[in-house]
Structure formats: C-alpha cells, structure tokens
Amino acid sequence: MCGIVGYLGFQDPKKIIIDGLKKLEYRGYDSAGIAILNDGKTKRVRAAGKIINLEEKLINENFNGHIGIGHTRWATHGAPNEKNAHPHQVGAISLVHNGIIENYLEIKKDLIARGAEIKSDTDSELVAHLVNEEIQVTNNLLLAVQKTLGKLIGAFSIVVMWEKSPNELVAFKDGPPLIVGVGEKENFIVSDVQAALQYTKNFVYLEDREIVHIHNNDLKYYSALGAPLKKQITTVDWNTEQVEKMGFKHYMLKEIYEQPRAVAAAIRPHINTELHSVQMESLGFAKSNSETFKTIDRIMFVACGTSFYAAMLGKYLIEQASGLPVEIDVASEFRYRKPIIPKNTLLITISQSGETADTLAAIRLAKEKGALTLSITNVQRSSIDREAHGHLYMNSGVEIGVASTKAFTSTIALLNVLALQIAKDRGAMTPEQEKNYVVQLLATPSQIEGVLAYDKYFSEAAKKLQTFKGFLYLGRGVSYPIALEGALKLKELAYMHAEGYAAGEMKHGPLALIDASMAIVVVAPTDDLIEKTISNLQEAKARGGKIISIGTGDNKALQSMSEYYLSIPASSWMAHPLISVVPLQLMSYHLADSLGYDVDQPRNLAKSVTVE
C-alpha cells in the first residue's frame, strides 16, 4: 500500500516522479503529492484522489531542480484528503512514508508537549517532525534518520529529503518494499521496479532494517544501526511494454486476455511436452524435489484473498491426487491462532505481489517453528520470495489491475503441476494417469482462448445483470473455490452483494435469501457431482431464483432451468477450474464497466497489501 518514488539525477524530476507514481497507482489512490528541491527551496504540490488530480494542479507549476520525492497514498491514519497527503514537510525536511507507525499516539503526545505544530492526522507527519528535531542536533541527514529510527515501532518505509543538502536522499525499509534503481548518473528509490524500469534495469533490493544513502552518484548502504553493508545489483528483464494497456480499455481486461499465455508460461518450466510428464524444475530446497516430497507428512497453505482461494483449490488437488493431508489458513488468522506445525510440514504461501504483510508474517512464523517453506509468487525477489526456502514462480508478467486474474489462473496451473509431481514422487499415480492429466493441462491455454471468444456475449448480458439485488455463487468440489472467487470479483469490481457457497450448503441458510431479485451463478461441469448440484438448483429455482449456469457440453437439464447457460470446454477435474473461472472474471468485469466503475482501481482497495 502506498507508492513511493524518489529521484536524484540529471533529468526533470517532476516528469520522472509523476510517470513513476502512475505505475504505482495500483498501490493506492487516495491522494498523491510531489516535493522538488531547487535553489535551497522545496516546492510541494499535493491533491486528494488520483494522480490525475495532482497532474491537473501541476499544469501551471514550473519546477527546476534535479531531486525530488513523490507518493501515492492508500489511507491508514487520517482521511484521504489533501491535508493528509504526502510528502509531509516539517522545517527543511520532506518525507514520504509507506506503512504504519504503531507507537504514533505516544510520539504525538511527546511532540505536542515539546511544542510541535502538527498539521495532519497521519502517523507519517510525526516521523518528519522527529527527523527535523534530530537534524537540528546532528546537521547530518543520514545521522538524523538513523537516530529517528530508534524511536519508531512498526512496519514502515520512508524516503527523506533535506532542503539544506540538495544532493542527497536517505531511505529506510522495514516492511513495505523499497528498491533502489541504479542508473547512469541518476538514481531512483521506488516501491516497485515498474516505477523506474523505463530508465534502468539494474536494481538493489533493500532488506528489512536497511538504509540507503544516495549522495550525488554515490550509493551507500547501512544497517539501521549504521554498520556499512555491501549490496548486490540485480538486473530485471521485464520490459516496459508489459506495463502498457496495449489497446485494451482496462489493464484488467488485458490481463484476462493474457491468461492463455500466462498459464502456458507458468507450466512450461515444469512439463516435458514430448513425454507428457511432470518434471518440476528444482525448487531450491536443500534436498531434491522428489526427496522433499517423499519425506513431508503434510502441507499447510497460507494466503489472502484470491490467493487464498487458489490455496483452497490446492487442498483439493494435492489431497485427491496424492493422499497427502493439506491444511489451509487465511494468513491474517494463521499467526494469531497459535498454529501447531508438526514436524515434516511443508508450508506453502501464495502471493502474487510477494509483499502481503500477513502472508509474509506467516512464512516467518512457520520458519521460526521449523517448517520447510515454499513460496508461490509472481514478483521475483519480493519479500516473501526472499524469505522462503523453495520458490515457484507464476511467470504471469506484471499484473496491474487491482483485481487479480491471470495470477490466479497461473497459480492454479502451478498447483496442478505441484499436485501431479507430489503424487508421482509418492507413488500415488500411474504413468498413464500422469500422461492423461498433463495432456489435459497442456490443452487449457487454447481452451481459455475458446472461452474468451464469448466475451461479446458477456458484455451484452452485463446490462441485464445490473437489475439483480444480489448474487449467490455456487459450486461443489473444485468448483467451490471458483464460486468464492467469482463472488469476490463481483463484490470488489461492481460493488454488488455477492456470496460464494458450497452448493450443498444452500439449504442450511442462504436459501432464505432467494427470491426473483436474486441471481444464482453456478459452476457445474458435468462430473460425478453434477446431479447433486442440479438438485440444489431445483430448490433455488422453486423459490423464484434466477439461474446463470456455467456447464460443459450440451447439458440439457442445466440449460432448461437457466436464464443464461454458457457451455465451456470439458477438461480433467484438476484443470477445469482454470477454464471455469474465466467467464466469472468476464462477467464481473463487464458488469462493473457497464455501471461506470473504475475497474482497474476499485474503491478502497490496493493491489499490494503491506499493512496488517
């Protein structure tokens, strides 16, 4: 949450910072601001709302200079208005902040007692006050920041600029990501490499409790206590095209359409396409993959949101394919329920961003308790990826739409591979079964293309769906997590009430909600549970509910009871969720778009949730 861009170099800092903030807007869009230093004076402009509002204010503002900081905010402390927008300025200090200062009340009380004039409701401004106090004593930016750190409790990152020293920036990370972009005679400090990728491919990832001191062209790294550190430059090969819309109306739509390619890219490194067998690349454990999978006694998945629904699917896939017990936890609950992690447990985290605070805390706790850990992430070298013993990558390419789509399907594809590999290594699957599953998995990218061909049908149906008061999403078996994911997509994009349920649970409560204003969206492939699902739908239809169904083939029974019936390609029970989620994504996208909502940046949300 919150995006930071700092720049020191020879180009126009305003352009670089605003362009960078636009790439980070997915991290928060409650307010934005910029501060640029020129001729010993800081010029600061801030605006409530999205970056476009800031840009409008900047049209008639001329900035000179070569150093500046900018910020796009996802509000934690204080309303999303201009007063609370960053950068915060106290005396000659300007500061941007991402994260939470837990002891802010105590700091505020002390500052007020010392006569400080506090202008915003944020915890961030208090940090600027503390640095400003320290700099009066030290007259040295690096030292002032170091001394301030000792007074702060929380998970936060900051970048600080000092009017009296126009050639230096000091940044500190403890929690939310901060990455140094190393250019030719220019340097960047950003929350995500995307913000500086068009200028450099060389980055240094700060670890927790590390400081970078950018002084002219010189970069020096220190621990929070001031010990000098040596850091490695990583070259990132994502190209900037991946972060453009490429003619689509929204990033989300582009990302939905990228799924065939993303799924193929996720599984490619782990499949032998000639033999039709799984051969997972080394995951980086001390033992080989197969020794690891043979010796574990259980798997625990931990994740949040859409990634948690992927984890739910992981449980169905791994338990049924290999017989290995699997537990799942929402990351925000995991560490507070004092989890028991028995010996020989493999704990797997799923996180597109690799920065979700609760998931990161969960993997750290699991390591402390002796578990072997595996991360499934999209962003390589992200905090969670760096924390884990073993690593699996979604390879989806940059996902910018706040609502996750291609990262979800890439993850399900990876979980298919993982489940097959575990089953194979533990002797739970014959070569024929393996081949059959792999062939069906390899067919899914073109099957998803087939579903995308129905896009027009969804955009036409979307307007009619606006009239429903609420939506119940139903599924059984592997279609149950897909129903949950469908409901989440509709809630977050179209702001309509939607619930996901296991179809068999209907009669235990939700049936009371059904009347003619309620749409029932059911994911019902023709499998051995279809008859039971159809019975559940009869119960809902008898009470006036309107049915929208996603089935396979020409399922007459399902078709005859549905207002809308969409037939999607059949696949193995394992791979089918990869296909069945796509119509639900398209339905939510078009419904939200037809209502005029901001699909890429739904209200109150942010893509990378780096606070608890």
Least Å distance, CB 351 to ligand F6R, is 3
What's the min distance (Å) between Cβ of 116 and ligand F6R?
Answer: 36
Q: 145, 367, 399, 168: which is closest to 266 by C-alpha? A: 399
Provide, rounded to whole angstroms, the least separation between the CB of residue 102 and ligand F6R: 21
Note whether 421 binds ligand F6R by CB under 6 A: no
| Residue 278-307 contact track with ligand F6R, rule CB under 6 A, x = bound | --------------------------xxxx
Q: Does 409 bind ligand F6R (CB under 6 A)?
A: no
Q: CA-CA distance, 214 to 196, in Å (whole number)?
A: 16
Residue with Cβ nearer ligand F6R (162 or 589): 589
Q: And the tokens for 524?
A: 């019902």
Pairing of strands 298-303, 345-351: parallel
Site stretch for ligand F6R (CB under 6 A), options 40-48, 205-213, 274-282, 347-355:
347-355
Closest distance to ligand F6R from the beta carbon of 498 (Å): 13
Single residue of 98, 157, 187, 359 touching ligand F6R by CB under 6 A: 359
Contact 186, 165 (CB under 8 A): no
Instruction: Classify burial at 539, counting beta carbons within 10 Å of its beta carbon; exposed 0-12, middle 13-18, buried 19 or more.
Output: middle
- Per the residue annotation, which of 2, 23, 50, 406 is the catalytic one? 2
**How would you class 476 by CB atoms within 10 Å of its CB: exposed for 0-12, middle for 13-18, buried for 19 or more?**
buried
Taking CB under 6 A as the criterion, which residues in 484-523 touch ligand F6R? 488, 492
Does 403 bind ligand F6R (CB under 6 A)? Our answer is yes
Q: 300: which strand partners?
A: 327, 347
Residue closer to ligand F6R by CB (options 305, 486) is: 305
Stretch that binds ligand F6R, among 156-164, 180-188, 350-358, 450-458 (CB under 6 A): 350-358
382 binds ligand F6R (CB under 6 A): no
Contact indicator for 37, 65 with CB cutoff of 8 Å: yes
| Angstrom distance (rounded) from CA 4 to CA 34 | 10
Around 410, how many Cα atoms within 13 Å sit in the side-chain half-sphere?
31
Determine contact, residues 75/30, Cβ cutoff 8 Å.
Answer: yes
- Token representation of residue 388: 């884990």
Work out the number of other CB atoms within 10 angstroms of the CB of residue 62: 8
Catalytic residue among 43, 315, 406, 607: 607
265 binds ligand F6R, rule: CB under 6 A = no
The one among 404, 479, 533, 601 contacting ligand F6R by CB under 6 A: 404
Q: Which residue is nearest to ligand F6R (CB)?
A: 305
∠ Cα 360 213 145 (to 5°): 75
Q: What angle do CA 276, 349, 407 make, to 5 degrees?
A: 60
Q: Give the residue from 57, 29, 31 showing the smallest Cα distance to 43.
A: 57
| By the rule CB under 6 A, 352 interacts with ligand F6R | yes
Residue 304 annotated as catalytic: no
Q: Which stretch binds ligand F6R (CB under 6 A): 56-64, 243-251, 275-283, 346-354?
A: 346-354
- If one asks whether residue 356 binds ligand F6R (CB under 6 A), the answer comes out as yes
Least distance in Å: CB of 592 to ligand F6R? 12
| CA pair distance 360, 356, nearest whole angstrom | 6
CA neighbor of 232 nearest in space, from 387, 363, 352, 381: 381
Active site residue 2: yes
Closest CA relative to residue 210, chosen from 233, 235, 231: 231
| Cβ closest to ligand F6R, residue 204 vs residue 403 | 403
Per CB under 6 A, does 351 bind ligand F6R? yes
Binding ligand F6R (rule: CB under 6 A), the pick from 84, 132, 289, 353 is 353
How big is the site for ligand F6R, counted in residues (CB under 6 A)?
A: 14
- List the catalytic residues: 2, 607
Residues that bind ligand F6R (CB under 6 A): 304-307, 351-353, 356, 359, 403-404, 488, 492, 609
